[in-house]
Structure 1
Amino acid sequence: MPNHKLTAHREAADRISQNYRAAVAEVQEDRDLSNEGRQRRLADLYVDARRRLTDLAQKEKAELDSRRTALENQFFGARGAGGGWDTASHAISARDASDRAAQIKTPAEAAELLERANADGDELLARAVARRSVRASEQAVGQRAVADWDAVSMTYLDARPRLLPVAEELGQIENMSKREVFSPFSLSKPAGLDPAALNVAAVNKSSEPVEA
């Protein structure tokens, strides 16, 4: 199930954009304003909204990065896999599993090693293979290659349904982190805005704090 807390900044950005568009329309329709006054008001509105959206975008990125790290630790971490091992033995086994997974060159090799790890109950190795498959999928070129690596990850996940919510949230974060032509935090300048007025507004507001 998607984590709706992750979209809080985008919802705030949408409110800022809606208020901005309404304010711009009001200024443009105000016939009592001189051209200079209209330009000044429009520039102030744009600079203020843009700064607030930029601040939200930076906060979202920081929170998504932090949440991704926490979720990956749950998905790939070795919690509960150590049994009664001592810390040193566990660390050695985890390093050995990571080294074996790093040698994987193809999805077929990954699938074979994952099958062996599942059969042996070797959770450390299974998670290392899954991590390797996810990273390989991110770097793969071509839909077929991506699908083959993803199939290995899905095999890992199918055997561990308790991790499905973690995987779904990681997928949500991945989608939100992709580059977008029209970002929820982007903003269009008012039509006819004079660059000179915009420069003045940017300078005047450069020392002002961004409103929460």
Structure 2
Amino acid sequence: MTRTRITQRLTQAVAIAAAALLAGCGNNTDDTDHYPSVVTSTQVQVEGSVEPSTEPKPSVAKPTSCAKLPEPFTDVDACNEQSVALTALRTMYSTNPTRDASSQDAMLRAVPLLSSAMISRIVAPTKGNQNTEWANLKSSRKRVVATVTIQTENQSSYYQISRKAVPVDAGNDAPGTTLDTIAVSATLTVVDGMGYRLDTLTPII
């Protein structure tokens, strides 16, 4: 199968997944939000999901060739596991309540960096009690900037995500209020002809 056909099939799968996820969160009319859960292989709640694409199939081998990622990820090397993981996590955890309909929008922005299995496990926002943090950020016109670093402890590595709130018009490096710090381990898979994609996240307690 040619690389062009592989790219077309993955693009179609991503488009279908994004449309389904948008449909799943489009009924939220009460301006409330819950942050999507960090999903793992054993912690799955699917709303508006799609069946994982059968092509291209994930590979356990290192990538031999990698397709160029779309905007705004053209500078990300899809053959570099850490580069894909760091960018995906920064994108997933950076939100803008003044523009985003919900935190689900951040997940959708990261879709090009996720495996089809990860896309199908994204938890859609649900109606319920208002998320106080989201409401406060929106009313104070602030957005969330996520900084992701790689930490090593006892010969094991994990990703540390630090979230801070900055004024909506300020740059990412502007001083802000620290919201929280999250530690996760990440598993990436290789999609043949495409490169690394984020496949699972596991919170580290």
Which of the pair is proportionally richer in helix?
1
Larger radius of gyration: 1
| TM beyond 0.5 | no
TM-score, structure 1 normalization: 0.24
Which of the pair is proportionally richer in strand?
2
TM-score, structure 2 normalization: 0.25
